[in-house]
Amino acid sequence: MKAPGPESNVLRSLFLKVFLWFWLSTVLVIGALLVTSHLTRTENTFRPPLFIEAVLTGYGRKAADAYERGGQPALADYLRTVERETTVRAHLFDAGGAELGGGAASARQTETAARTARTGQPFFGEVDGRMLEVRPVPAAGGGNYAFLVEMPKGPPPGGPHGGPPHGPFGLLSESGSVLGLRLLVVILTAGALCYLLARYITTPVVKLREVTRQVTEGDLSARVGPRLGRRHDELAAMGHDFDTMATRVETLVSAQTRLLRDISHELRSPLARLSVALDLARKRAGAAAAADLDRIEREAKRLNEMIGQLLTLSRSESDANGHGARALDLAALVREVAADADFEAQASGRSVEIVECEGCRMKGTAALLRSAVENVVRNAVRYTPEGTAVKLSLRCVREGADASACIRIRDEGAGVPEEALSEIFRPFYRMDDSRARETGGTGLGLAITERAVRLHGGTVKASNVPGGGFVVEIRLPLNAPAT
């Protein structure tokens, strides 16, 4: 059965890292382009292109025609029209430097315009803090006028009402809001593309982690290949390699389980025949053979117990997917195990006490959980000194939204070496001190406990108690609400 776990950490780590790094890199590149463009530009970088210069020449000719037909009033009206259409100020000068439209011009502007009218050479440059574009315009009586336009440094500003500029200069500028909107669209588009790319990269990792968790929980049939679709990159290759490994592990575990089960069943038959032969031998043998026959009987019982535990271990593996799981009352199970163990412990001067037993319910396999708790309790009864009690407790522990049952079994024995605490749950593990072979253990009880607890999504750990004693703590997730 599946243990409750947190959401995938990959979505909160690898995916976000890849996505944010891609997006940040894109934004930094855009920012670097803007900064370098600003730092490397010159003050007078803007100059109208050729078609704009042609337009200026056309405005100049119309200004000259207006002056020659209607004099200064007509020219002044026309120049006001030009200013409304282009948002720039224009002047018309004669070769003597006179401003013909009645407008005001500085001395340097007048001098520049007069030089253009005399030489016929256009001028573009900064005069009195303003960029001037001066174009020669032929006069009807011979010679030239000078059509002068005051240009802004850089692209011209917006129109008189804050909108886009009118006339030919409208093609050369953008308002700040438009530029900001375009920049925002670029950043959001880059973010969407980076999101898709990061998702594409991390999706196989997320799926691989999900399958790895399933395999860890005992579902050896889980495979990642079908979830990767038609991908053929390195991540897909890693997923297929994982599937190959999982298939190999499943085959080995299945073969081991099957071999263990088959051997256990095969040993039962000769063991049963040995018991029958032992009974016959007792009837035929005299008192001299009684001690030897008793030894044979004890060893036969130990062998029968070991075979039973091997079969239990094999059945626990076959129930890895939660077959036979149902809602059960842990409190009732703990009381039942304690009562049975206490009855047996009384014969050896020991006892089993329940010091705390809260009501906890969960979904699980009753036989496996009973075996898990019973093996630890019987083990504790075996090693606690005469005249002492094994203490058993059950508490419901809540940590945020998660809840678990905590079962603690403590004896008053000598404990185990610290280096052996992580080994005692391995099958057939034995030690050469107080918990030795002479006690009669088979080395399978705690292994069955660990396997059963793990198949229910729980954990089991052992520790020595300061001052003497040994405690085993079993934690099981409460995945079924109490009723």
Three state DSSP letters for the chain:
CCCCCCCCHHHHCHHHHHHHHHHHHHHHHHHHHHHHHHHHCCCCCCCCCHHHHHHHHHHHHHHHHHHHHHHHHHHHHHHHHHHHHHCCEEEEECCCCCECCCCCCCHHHHHHHHHHHHHCCCEEEEECCEEEEEEEEECCCCCEEEEEEEECCCCCCCCCCCCCCCHHHHHHCCCHHHHHHHHHHHHHHHHHHHHHHHHHHHHHHHHHHHHHHHHHCCCCCCCCHHHCCCCCCHHHHHHHHHHHHHHHHHHHHHHHHHHHHHHHHHHHHHHHHHHHHHHHHHHHCCHHHHHHHHHHHHHHHHHHHHHHHHHHHHHHHHCCCCCCCEEEEHHHHHHHHHHHHHHHHHHHCCEEEEEEECCCEEEECHHHHHHHHHHHHHHHHHHCCCCCEEEEEEEEEEECCEEEEEEEEEECCCCCCHHHCCCCCCCCCCCCCCCCHHHCCCCCHHHHHHHHHHHCCCEEEEEECCCCCEEEEEEEECCCCCC
Check residue 126 and give its pLDDT: 83
Check residue 432 and give its pLDDT: 52
Check residue 269 and give its pLDDT: 75
The verdict on whether 161 is a catalytic residue reads no
Q: Name the pTM for this structure.
A: 0.46
Check residue 103 and give its pLDDT: 85
Check residue 409 and give its pLDDT: 94
Considering the candidates 161, 232, 240, 265, report the single residue annotated as catalytic: 265
Check residue 161 and give its pLDDT: 40
Residue spans of the chain under pLDDT 70: 1-15, 37-54, 152-179, 260, 264-265, 309-310, 312-324, 428-443, 479-483
Domains and CATH numbers, the chain: 50-151 (3.30.450.170), 234-314 (1.10.287.130), 324-477 (3.30.565.10)
